[in-house]
Amino acid sequence: MTLEALRDADPRTVGPYALLGRLGQGGMGVVYLGRAPDGTRVAVKVIHARMAAQADFRRRFAREVAAAKRVARFCTAPVLDADVEGEVAYLVTEYVEGPSLGAAIRESGPLKGSALDGLAAAMAMALRAIHAAGVVHSDLKPSNVLLSQVGPKVIDFGVAQVLDAETTSAVVGTPAYMSPEQVSGAPLGPASDIFSWGCTVAYAASGVPPFGTGSMPTVLLRIVNDPPDLRGLPDPLRELVTAALSKDPSERPTAQELMDRLSASSHTGSVSVEHSTPHAADTGTGTRARMIAWAEGRRRRLTAAGAAVVVAAVGGSTAVAWHNAQTSATATASRTTTSSTATASGGQGSTTAATGGGHHNPLRSEGRVTFYAPAEGAAARQAGLWEKDRPEDAALMRKLAAVPHAIRLGEPEVRPKIAATLTAARQAGGVPVFLVNRLPGSDCRPRTSAAMDAYQEWIKGIAGAIGQAGAVVILEPGALVKVPGAANCDPRGSADQRYADLRQAVRTLESNPNTAVYLDGSHNYWPGTEIMAQRLIKSGVHEADGFFVNTAGYQPTDKNVEYGRALSACISVQRATGGQDCPTDAKVDPATMPHFVVDTARNGQGAWQPDKKYPDPQTWCNPPGRGVGDRPTTDTGEELADAYLWITRAGSSNGRCRRGTDGEKDPVRGIVLPEAGEWWPAQALERARNANPPL
C-alpha cells in the first residue's frame, strides 16, 4: 500500500496510536499507518465525523466490529482494537505490507499456475473464517486483497455493512464484483461473497473483470443477465469459478466447498496444470515471484490448513445468524409534485378513463398535469447531514430533493416498487415517470437469446404492474446511441436485433391504455440527426409516444427543442420517402411528426466549453460549472415537446474523468472523481447553486 505524508488537517495521534502517514481514504473514513504503544505497526481507520456523529451509525459500527473481532486469523487482516464510544471513532487492524491484488495485476499482468491457485485458495480460506464468524464481507474485490510476504490477505471485512446503511439508494459495492442479489437490493448471505470470489479470481487470471467494464448500469446488467468472460482460467479452476458465478445463490459452492475442491486438486495436480519457470521479467523479488514462491508452499500445506480453519473458526458454535447487509435506517420519503397547465395535443384527450377510448398519453391531458416522485433520497440525506453546520447548503439540497425526478427501474424485481409508487402517485394526484434501464447487451455488446427472453418477460411484468394507471416510461437511455454491430461497437452484435428488441418492448408497454413510452433520441451532436432518425424508425418510434433527448448532454433547453423538431421532421421525411437523408427543402406532414420530451436536469448553464486544451476534453464527463435546468412541466410552449423532465440525477458522477491525461485525477478539478453513478455531494451542490432558473 502506498504511504502518503500526513496532511495539515490530519490528527497526529488517535487513542494510544501515533499516526505515521496516510494509507488511503474511502467512503467510511481515512486509513492511516499507525504505531501501537508496543511499537507494532497497525492500520488505523478513522471514521468520518459526519458518520460518527450519528447514534444509529455508532450502534451498527459497534455491532459489526464485535462480529469482525470473531473472525479467525486465516488469510485475513484481523481487527485488533476499536473505539466506538469516544469523540473520534476508529478501527485498528493488522497492518499488511504489500501491494493490493489490483495493483499487482496492473503492474505485472495476470497470475498463472500455482500463483493463481494459491490466491484462489487463500481467498476461500479467508471467506471460510469470515463466514464462520457470522459476517458477510459484501465488498470483496482486488483492492481488498493484499499480497503480503506470507501470502494473500483479505481486508475490510464486516464493517462494509455499516457503510451500506449510510449510502444512497443506489446499489452498494464495487459494480464489477457485485453479486446479482446485491444488484437487486436483496438480502445478502455468504453466497454473495462467493460470487465476488469468482469475479476476483477471474480478474486475477485475465486482468479484466468477468463482466467487463463501462458505465455502472451497463456492468450491472451484464452481471444479472450475461454469462461471465472467463478467459485465462484453466480447467478445473474454470469449473469452480463458473459455479461460483451462478446467478442463483443456492447453486454456488460454500467457502468450505471451495477449499475442499482446491485442496483435492492440489494433490492430484488437476487445478495447477502450469508449473513452468516464470518469464525473466517476473523473477527476482517482485510481486509475481513472491506469489509463486508462496503458492508452491501453500499447495503442500492446504489440506492441513483447511482442517485447522474448520476447527478454529467454528469453535463452540454450530449455528450462525447472518447479518443482513442491506439493513438501513428507516426513512420517510416525502411526496412532492409539480404542476403545470397543458393543452391537449394530437387529440389524445384525458388520461382519467380507465377503459375504452383508445390510448391516452398523460402528458397531453387537458388541464393541469402534475408529476409525482418521492423525495430524491441522496439529496434529502445530504440535507440532513448538513443541517447543523451548513444550513444554507442543506436548504438547497432539500429544494433539489423536492423536484420530481424519473424513478429508476433496473432491478430484477421491480413490481413492488411500481405498485408503491402508483399508490402514492394516486394519493398525490401526480403522474410518475419511470426510467427503464436493464437492456441486455447494452453499450455495444451482443446479447444472448436467453437474456433477451428474460428481459421481455421483465418488461411484461412492468406493463402488468402499471396496468391502467397513468405513467410515463423513458425506455433504455443510450440504447440507440451505442448499437451492436455499428461503427466502434462489437462487430458480433446485430443492430437489427437491437431495433427488434426495442420494438417488442414498446409494443408491450404501449398495450396499456395510459402508459406513454419514449425512445432514446440522443442529443444534437451525436451521432447525427439522420442516423438517429433511421434508428428510431427501425425501433418503432411511430408505435411509441415519441423520443427523449439530452439524457447524456448538457445542451440548453432551446437547443434541445430545436434539435427535437429537426429530428421529428427527419423521421417524418424518412418514413414518407423510405430514404436515409433529410433534405432541408423536403415537405413535412405535421401529422406524422413524433413528439418528444427533453431532459432538463443538468442543462441550466448549457454545455461546457473548456478554457484550455486537453487531449480528450470529455465535455460530457462531470463538466464544471453546470446547473440544473427547467423544472418538470408540460408547459413547454412547443406543440411537439410534450414535457421537460428530470431524467438524469444532478448529483451523480459520470465517472473518472481523465480527459486524455495520465494519472487518476481530473485535470480540471485536480481531484480523483467518484466512480460512475456514485452520489457526489459537491457536484450536486454546485449544480443546485447554478440552477437556472434558481431553485
299, three cell numbers:
499447495
Cα(first)–Cα(last) distance of the chain, in Å? Answer: 44
The pLDDT of residue 184: 75
3-state SS assignment for residue 652: strand
Do 58 and 107 lie in one domain? The reply is no
Question: Of the candidates 284, 314, 344, which is a domain's last residue?
Answer: 314
| Per-range mean pLDDT, top range of 19-33, 205-219, 645-659 | 645-659
Provide the grid cell at 347. 387529440
- Lowest-confidence region among 260-274, 488-502, 554-568: 260-274
Average pLDDT of the chain, as a whole number: 81
497-537 confidence digits (pLDDT tens): 899 999 999 999 999 999 999 999 998 777 889 999 999 99
pLDDT tens-place string over residues 53-64: 777 777 777 777
Grouping H, G, I as helix, E, B as strand and the rest as coil, residue 379 is helix
Q: From 77, 94, 111, give the residue that closes a domain.
A: 94
Over residues 326-372, the pLDDT tens digits come to 323 333 333 344 444 333 333 333 333 333 357 899 999 888 899 99
User: Are 251 and 394 within one domain?
Assistant: no
472 CA to centre of own chain: 24
Radius of gyration of the chain (CA): 27
pLDDT at site 455: 92
| Confidence at residue 485, expressed as pLDDT on a 0 to 100 scale | 74
Task: Give the structural domain span for 210.
Answer: 101-314
472 lies in the same domain as 535: yes
Query: How many helices (H) does the chain have, and how many strands (E)?
Result: 19, 17
- pLDDT, residue 549, reads 96
pLDDT at 302 over 70: no
8 in a structural domain: no
In-domain check, residue 354: yes
State the CATH number of the domain containing residue 34: 3.30.200.20
Q: Are residues 236 and 214 in the same domain?
A: yes
What percent of the chain is predicted at pLDDT more than 90? 48
Q: Are residues 387 and 467 both part of a single domain?
A: yes
User: Does residue 330 belong to any structural domain of this protein?
Assistant: no
Assess whether 77 and 164 both reside in one domain. no
Which of 318-322, 399-403, 437-441 has the largest mean confidence?
399-403
Examine the domain organization and report whether 662 and 527 are in the same domain.
yes
CA dihedral 67, 69, 71, 74 (to 10 degrees): 160
Same domain, 86 and 107: no
Nearest to 470, CA basis, from 637, 594, 634, 648: 634
- Is residue 229 within 8 A of residue 198, CB to CB? The reply is no
Provide the 3-class DSSP secondary structure of residue 162.
Answer: helix
Q: Among 276-290, 345-359, 409-423, where is mean pLDDT lowest?
A: 276-290
Residue at 1 is within a domain: no
Question: 335 by DSSP, 3-state: which?
Answer: strand
- Asked if 63 and 124 sit in the same domain, the reply is no
Asked which of 102-111, 266-275, 323-332, 626-635 is least confident by mean pLDDT, the reply is 323-332
Is the Cβ–Cβ distance between 134 and 321 less than 8 Å? yes
Q: In sequence order, what are the residues at sequence separation of 6 or more whose Cβ sits closer than 8 angstroms to the Cβ of residue 380? A: 331, 333, 334, 397, 398, 401
User: Pairing mode, if any, of strands 29-35 and 17-25?
Assistant: antiparallel
Domains in the chain, number: 3
CATH of the domain at 240: 1.10.510.10
pLDDT score for 312: 26
Is residue 412 one of the residues assigned to a domain? yes
User: pTM score, two decimals?
Assistant: 0.54
On whether both 110 and 76 belong to a single domain, the answer is no
Nearest to 600 by CA among 647, 653, 641, 636: 647
Out of 70-74, 392-396, 493-497, least confident range:
70-74
The last residue of a domain, from among 269, 284, 314: 314
How many residues are listed for the chain in this entry?
695
CB atoms near residue 164 (< 10 Å): 21
Predicted confidence (pLDDT) per residue in 192-226, tens digit: 999 999 999 999 999 999 999 887 777 887 888 88
Tell me if 327 is assigned to some domain.
no
Of residues 151 and 42, more confidence is placed in 42
- d(CA 673, CA 621) in angstroms, rounded, equals 10
pLDDT at 207: 94
Residue 105 domain-assigned?
A: yes
- pLDDT attached to residue 306: 33
Residue 585 region by backbone torsions, left for phi larger than 0, else alpha for psi between -120 and 50, else beta: alpha
Q: Are residues 561 and 648 in the same domain?
A: yes
| Position 475 pLDDT exceeds 90 | yes
Residues known to be catalytic: 139
Same domain, 507 and 628: yes
pLDDT (mean) for 254-273: 67
Q: Would you state the pLDDT for residue 74?
A: 63
Asked if residue 323 belongs to a domain, the reply is no
Helix (H) / strand (E) containing 372: strand 367-374
